[in-house]
Amino acid sequence: MSLTADFVALLGIERVKTHPLERHVYSRDGGISLGPVEVVVHPETTEEVVDVVQIARRHGFPLVPRGAGTGLAGGAVPTQPAVVVALTRMNQIHEIDVASRTAWVGPGVINVELSQHTARYGLHYAPDPSSQAACTIGGNVATNAGGPHCLADGTTVVHILGMELVTAEGEVLILGGAAPDPPGLDLRGIVVGSEGTFGIVTRVLVRLSEDAPATRTMLLAFGDTAGAAATVSDTIAEGVIPAALEIMDRLIVRAVENFVQAGFPLDAAAVLLAEVSGHPVAVAAEVDLIADLAARHGASSVRVAADEAEAALWWKGRKAAFGAVAQMAPDYYLHDTVVPRSRLVEVLQTVYEIADRNDLMVMNVFHAGDGNLHPIMAFDAEEPGTMARVKTAADAIVAASVAAGGSLSGEHGIGLEKRDLMKTVFSPVDLDAQARLREAFDPAGVMNPDKILPTGSRCLDYGRPAAAPVVS
């Protein structure tokens, strides 16, 4: 039988997508690249995933695991005709252990829905990407996703205790577990962030966090970005690690305010959104400390949310930033480099200069506490020559971040967008070691081929020669 016929026999016609429009929808993620999709399948159990892998291997097609498609680095975009394994139907919360604060969940569980489900126990899942209303736990595992509240709590890898993984040979492995320090190599830790190149994650054991007894959210306005950044640095220098420290510049504040009407000050050059949580006495002291530091650095206003509703509105505004860009231009592109906090202002200035040189609009919204930048270039891809200028500017921004002692990605992953930039931060020996590790999990190179590692990372490259991704 044909590839499609085998999948239909396994899953039924409703869970096998072959129509050109359906394949087109799954040919991209939230980034700007397109790739060739042979067929899309929607398994619902680990056993079905095993069978999907075996069918794809029998017909000679690679596999690309996919969550909700909210990724921004092309991690779920095929580079050659592939079987896209959409895991959104594997969305069950299998088991919650309130005493140990853990839960086994399917990879298709929506990030925010997990916390909504565990709220009755006074627990939540800490990583909160801006796309948390749509992104899945499996996708978060793939990219080691972060979010505004990962400053104090850490990114996804800190909150994943174990997982069930289907390998390229169709073997089912359990990596990690609920034990505080399981014996052996930390294979769990290396699968988090591997972007589906080691296998397909079919269940995840997550760590749940206790809700804080008190939380206060602050909105601080500044006449320049330097004052906001200095407030962030001095806060942490005082030994205070807030739950979140987010900065938005003037352009993105205006776009967000018009989009959400969150009450952001339109006359500010930069806005700092800070949140502290913990014991009520400690929270009150930290609010006073941040307010004092902000005043020293020229804050024009300091507001503390009057209630949970106002705080939620402010966070809605922050997390709507990417969506708000659509008012400015039909397309956007961004990297998520990380730089030392002490170099934030310097690198931001360089970002603005790069955008000016390339005649592009740039808006900045970022996790200031850990130096994770998100410069957003808004543009119209239909204008001739624009994509070339965007790519030139994007590469220059990455180069500036790396030169400042930074790294390529804080939470979006490498995927296609930063794959060929890996050589700027890793030596040939480093890349070879990473390629050997990948080879140990996937000797044939059929799991999400051509991602993360650039051509030449090993003497023998993975998979068939990759077709160049199409840029929309």
316/240 Cα distance (integer angstroms): 25
The answer, yes or no, to whether residue 466 has pLDDT greater than 50, is no
Nearest of 416, 326, 418 to residue 378 by alpha carbon: 326
Give me the mean pLDDT over the 191-216 stretch: 98
**Each residue of 430-449: pLDDT tens digit?**
999 999 999 999 999 999 99
Distance CA(438)–CA(443), nearest Å, equals 8
Q: Which residues contact 191 (CB under 8 A, 6 or more apart)?
A: 141, 163, 165, 175, 198, 199, 201
**How many CB atoms are located within 10 Å of the residue 373 CB?**
25
Calculate mean pLDDT across residues 9-37: 96
Structure-token match 């205070």, residue found: 240
95: phi then psi, degrees, rounded to nearest 5: -160, 135
User: How far is Cα 264 from Cα 420, in angstroms, rounded to an integer?
Assistant: 38
Pick the closest to residue 464 from 451, 446, 441, 443 (CA basis): 446
User: Which of 30-34, 48-52, 220-224, 225-229 is the least confident region?
Assistant: 30-34
C-beta separation of 320 from 269 below 8 A: no
Q: Do 409 and 419 touch, CB atoms closer than 8 A?
A: no
Tell me the mean pLDDT in the region 460-471.
47
Residue 302 CA to residue 442 CA, distance in Å, equals: 53
Average pLDDT over residues 413-428: 95
Which of 3.50.30.30, 3.30.70.3450, 3.40.190.10, 3.40.47.10 is the CATH number of 214-322? Answer: 3.30.70.3450
CA-to-CA distance for 186 and 175, rounded, in angstroms? 8
First-last CA distance in the chain? 34
Domain ranges of the chain: 93-210, 214-322, 329-403
* pLDDT tens figures, 394-411: 999 999 999 999 999 999
Please determine, for residue 468, whether its predicted confidence score (pLDDT) is greater than 80. no
Separation between Cα atoms, residue 265 and residue 252, nearest integer Å: 12
Q: What is the pLDDT of residue 465?
A: 42
Structural element, H or E, at residue 205:
strand 200-207
Residue-level pLDDT at 470: 52
Q: For domain 329-403, give the CATH number.
A: 3.30.70.2740
- pLDDT the model gives residue 460: 52
Which amino acid is located at 62 in the chain? Answer: P
Write the CB contacts of 356 (distance below 8 Å, at least 6 apart in sequence). Answer: none
Same-fold call for 214-322 versus 329-403 = yes
Tokens of 84: 């896209």
* Residue 14 DSSP label: G
Query: How high is the pLDDT of residue 184?
Result: 86
Q: Which fold has domain 93-210?
A: 3.30.465
Question: What is residue 65's three-state secondary structure?
Answer: strand
DSSP-derived secondary structure letter, 458: S
Chain mean position to CA 69: 11
CA 261 to CA 316: how far, in whole Å? 10
User: If we measure between CA atoms, which residue out of 27, 115, 30, 19 comes closest to residue 78?
Assistant: 27
Q: Which residues make Cβ contacts (< 8 Å) with residue 404, sequence separation at least 6?
A: 339, 340, 343, 346, 347
* pLDDT, mean of residues 231-246: 97
Q: Label the pairing between strands 37-41 and 82-86.
A: parallel
pLDDT tens track for 139-188: 999 999 999 999 999 999 999 999 999 999 999 999 999 988 888 899 99
Say how many C-beta atoms besides its own lie within 10 A of residue 170's C-beta.
17
Residue bearing tokens 């205790």: 161
pLDDT, tens only, 308-367: 999 999 999 999 999 999 999 999 999 899 999 999 999 999 999 999 999 999 999 999
